[in-house]
Chains A and B, each alone.
Chain A
């Protein structure tokens, strides 16, 4: 193979590292306790049968060994701070350092959720200010910051719809979901007790208005719609969609996953949305943790406000802030305290650092970057939907598949070029999808590197398809057997395995 077109990545030595359990040797430890300055308690007496002498198979290592272990592992990672992460739908934008500076301020980092309200006014003011900013950005009337992630927000939003419809006498039976939706949408509807009915897209990749009108009836609680949708296309007839639902007493839920294409330009509250969630970890630049804290605030119109999770934040007569727990129609608490406060701080820092004009430009730059990539790669890769792209663009592997090279192969080859892969095989409405979302964070230089890499891979797929089908080559491990991993997963390390592997 030739690496001549690979500009961004190079091979370099990095350290092998076993499991921390394999490093363990009995008696080593990475701590030394200070002398006891309180009376000693006989823990065996206190705990009785629950007292443990044998801690099982805990790794015993020195401080330096554990530091090296995790530092070595960290060098195997790919991260937004290393390079572009064009993972469509996920909005892997840069997490600005100002967010982290603010979140580490002593009074915020050390605040305790059980502190009395009167000495938590600063934290409450942050949540209140963020709430107001998000209400303004979405054009809605009320909000909760409790939900801990996007899908959690979806569930909260659908529970609000259900509670409202129930209060009118009938929660209804079905939720309509377009075929381009995120998989979490049907899962949310099902977990909230609704049957899911599929809504087909039209040839432009948008909701088919006549199909919607035909499927809409008094059994339908509402529609869950992502706008722009997962093809990166703005639903141009969104107001008609809202009207069709509202005429039959249904509600419009908007999945705000792609809100980064709308901020400062148009507001869901103005185009007929009744309830929606936001992903602070996408649109508002808080980190995407590996299972770590996200934040999925739910904003709604006035008529849904009584059903919001309790507690809700209120401003008291004396101007101080507090929580109101007396909410008889509430769907109940969905998260302890008032959500992931650390994310509230970061999102507000981002909003205030940008200001209204900055946020608007962020949106424009995200759309511009996606369209730059679309324009540059159109021709090298098939563009299944010609409608205008917003913040992301979806190609298909149709041209490369003629040589047997699929979207997953192209993605793995892209790793050799020093990029995190784009999103593979989603949305499902596009066969062999390549979904690319550059976000506003990337410079023209980095975008050009991605374009060059993708063009180079298209050439390789034409000239040497077998090479692309066996990529990657530059990584620590070559192509993994995903099928075997799914069919015969090894979920637990056992000492016996380690022994037989080393023999």
Chain B
């Protein structure tokens, strides 16, 4: 699956799509592929304040439970509640399945994360 050019990526396999002051955050296609069938997603409460690198939830597959790490600092203004009912959506379309919407503390913070090309190189090296 293609890695969208307008997203930024972390080495912990989250993506972030910045639009002005807000951003959508999810996990990458590579992450869903490694995890296998996802059976449960735990998301933070709306209003939670996150610092870059904080764990903001967990994703559970038949193999393992993994933490979700905030790619940037900000306040959670919306969560994607559909995912709690249908976690399989992440397996079907990881880059379309956003988990939280952040109001960014610093709209420029995500600029320093990996570009789609850098991320693809990174996951190739990791394997």
Partner of B62, one of A183, A428, A483: A483
Contact B39 A428 (CB under 8 A): no
Interface band, chain B: 10 to 19
| Interface pair B34/A431, CB less than 8 Å apart | yes
Name the B residues within 8 Å of A483 (CB-CB).
37, 39, 62
A425 in contact (CB, < 8 A)? yes
* CB of B35 to closest CB in A, whole Å: 10
In the assembled complex, the Cα of A368 lies from the Cα of B127 at a distance in Å of 31
Cβ contact within 8 Å between B64 and A486: no
Q: Is B40's CB within 8 Å of the partner chain A?
A: yes
Are B63 and A487 interface neighbours, CB within 8 A?
no
Q: Interface readout for A405-432 with B: 1 if CB under 8 Å, 0 if not?
A: 0001000000000000000110010010
- 8 Å CB contacts to A: which residues of B93-114? none
B64–A428 CB distance below 8 A: yes
**CB neighbours of A486 from chain B (8 A):** 37, 39-40, 60, 62
A487 with B88: CB separation less than 8 A: yes
**Is the C-beta of B71 less than 8 angstroms from some C-beta in chain A?**
no
Cα–Cα distance between A455 and B72 once the two chains are bound (Å) = 47
Interface size on A, as a range, is: 10 to 19
Shortest CB–CB separation between residue B44 and chain A, in angstroms? Answer: 16
Query: Is B87 part of the contact surface with A, judged by Cβ < 8 Å?
Result: yes
Q: Scan A391-414; emit 1 where CB is below 8 A from any B CB, else 0.
A: 000000000000000001000000
Q: What separation, in Å, do the CA atoms of A424 and B36 have in the docked complex?
A: 13
Q: Is the CB of B62 within 8 A of A482?
A: yes
Shortest Cβ gap from A46 to chain B (Å): 47
Question: Min CB distance, B86 to chain A, in Å?
Answer: 9
**Shortest distance between the CB of B109 and any CB in chain A (Å):** 22
A424 vs B63: C-alpha distance when bound (angstroms): 8
State how many angstroms separate the Cβ of A163 from the closest Cβ of chain B.
27
Judging by beta carbons under 8 Å apart, are A487 and B87 in contact?
yes
CA distance A408 to B35 in the complex (A): 13
Residue among B34, B63, B127 with max Cβ neighbours from chain A (10 Å): B63
* Chain B residue nearest in CB terms to A183: B65
- Please determine whether B34 and A425 come into contact, CB atoms closer than 8 angstroms: no
Instruction: Determine the distance from Cα of A89 to Cα of B34 in the docked complex, in whole angstroms.
Output: 22
A453-490 CB mask vs B (1 if < 8 Å, else 0) is: 00000000000000000000000000000110011000
Interface residues as binary, B34-49 with A (CB distance below 8 Å gives 1, 0 otherwise): 1001011000000000
For the complex, what is the distance from the CA of A408 to the CA of B127, rounded to whole Å?
A: 19
> Smallest distance from the beta carbon of B41 to chain A beta carbons, Å?
11
Which A residues touch B88, using CB under 8 A? 487
The interface residues of chain B lying within 8 Å CB-to-CB of A482 are 37, 62
> Considering only CB atoms, which chain B residue lies closest to A483 in the complex?
B37
Q: How far is the CA of A408 from the CA of B62 in the complex (A)?
A: 11
Closest partner residue, chain A, to B65 (CB atom) = A183
B36 → A minimal CB distance (Å): 8
Chain A residues with CB under 8 A of B40: 486
Distance between Cα atoms of A425 and B61 in the complex (Å): 12
- Binary per-residue interface labels of chain B (48-86) against chain A in the complex, 1 for a CB within 8 Å, 0 otherwise: 000000000000101111000000000000000000000
- A:53-92 near B, CB below 8 Å: none
Asked whether, in the complex, the Cβ of B64 is within 8 Å of the Cβ of A487, the reply is: no
Taking a contact as CB atoms under 8 Å apart, the answer to whether B34 and A487 are in contact is: no
Q: Which residues of A contact B60 (CB under 8 A)?
A: 486
State which residues 354-411 of A face B: CB under 8 Å: 408
For residue B30, give the distance in angstroms from its CB to the closest CB of chain A. Answer: 11
Give residues of chain A (160-212) contacting chain B, Cβ–Cβ below 8 Å: 183
- Other CB < 8 Å A-B pairs besides A425-B64, A486-B37, A486-B39, 18 of them? A183-B65, A408-B63, A424-B63, A425-B63, A428-B64, A431-B34, A431-B127, A482-B37, A482-B62, A483-B37, A483-B39, A483-B62, A486-B40, A486-B60, A486-B62, A487-B39, A487-B87, A487-B88
Report A's interface with B, CB cutoff 8 A.
183, 408, 424-425, 428, 431, 482-483, 486-487
Of the A-B pairs whose beta carbons lie under 8 Å apart in the complex, a sample of 7, sorted by A's number, is A183-B65, A408-B63, A425-B64, A428-B64, A483-B37, A486-B40, A487-B39
Give B residues with C-beta under 8 Å from A.
34, 37, 39-40, 60, 62-65, 87-88, 127
| A-B complex: 8 closest residue pairs judged by Cβ atoms | A486-B39, A483-B37, A425-B63, A482-B62, A487-B39, A483-B62, A486-B62, A428-B64
